[in-house]
């Protein structure tokens, strides 16, 4: 799917170009929420994807995850870190530029990039 359609999907689901993401150690479900925090989507990750998220420590990390929402396959970029022993969280977007805009970042990323594959 082209990036414009993916952005439309994310905007329709989350009210913007980015979403908050949450992950707990007792599940392989990635929870995605709108900016105001309402969980709107839970995506089941495969074991490899879940394990990659579990390796994230307290350093800001980016992970590329191929996934599908509403039957639409695309690559979602997660940016976040381990918050405590029982939760990882951060921001998610299909386009890295939206993470920079949304977080008022200077464009520099001083963290780790982990890739779980990509949608062709």
DSSP characters over 2-59: -HHHHHHHHHHHHSSSEEEEEE-TT-SEEEEE-TT--EEEEEEPPHHHHHHHHT--SS
How many domains does the structure of the chain reveal?
A: 1
Mean pLDDT of 72-81: 93
Q: Where are the alpha helices (DSSP H) in 38-120?
A: 47-54, 96-102
CB 92 within 8 A of CB 10: no
pLDDT in tens, 24-54: 999 999 999 998 877 789 999 999 999 999 9
Is residue 99 one of the residues assigned to a domain? yes
CATH number of domain containing 105: 3.30.450
Is residue 111 one of the residues assigned to a domain? yes
Mean pLDDT of 71-89: 93
> Would you tell me how many other CB atoms lie within 10 Å of the CB of residue 67?
21
Is residue 120 one of the residues assigned to a domain? no
Q: Which residue has the higher pLDDT, 72 or 106?
A: 72
Helix (H) or strand (E) holding 84: strand 72-84
Is residue 95 one of the residues assigned to a domain? yes
Is residue 63 one of the residues assigned to a domain? yes
Using pLDDT thresholds of 50, 70 and 90, give the confidence band for residue 93: very high
Phi, psi (rounded to 5 degrees) for 109: -125, 115
Is residue 71 one of the residues assigned to a domain? yes
Q: Look over the chain and give the mean of its residue pLDDT values, rounded to a whole number.
A: 83
Phi, psi (rounded to 5 degrees) for 59: -90, 140
Q: Indicate the pTM of the whole model.
A: 0.81
| pLDDT for residue 97 | 79
Is residue 28 one of the residues assigned to a domain? yes
Percent of the chain with pLDDT over 90: 49
* Residue 105 in this model has a pLDDT that exceeds 80: no
Enclosing domain of residue 45: 3-115
Structure tokens at 100: 């920079």
């Amino acid at each position: 799917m082209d990036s414009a359609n993916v952005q439309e999907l994310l905007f329709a689901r989350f009210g913007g170009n980015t979403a908050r993401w949450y992950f707990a150690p007792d599940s392989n479900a990635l929870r995605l929420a709108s900016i105001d925090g309402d969980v709107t989507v839970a995506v089941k990750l495969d074991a490899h994807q879940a394990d990659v998220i579990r390796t994230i420590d307290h350093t800001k990390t980016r992970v590329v995850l191929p996934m599908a929402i509403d039957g639409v396959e695309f690559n979602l970029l997660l940016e976040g870190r381990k918050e405590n022993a029982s939760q990882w969280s951060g921001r998610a977007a299909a386009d890295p530029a939206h993470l920079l805009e949304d977080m008022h970042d200077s464009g520099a990323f001083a963290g780790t990039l982990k890739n779980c594959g990509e949608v062709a």
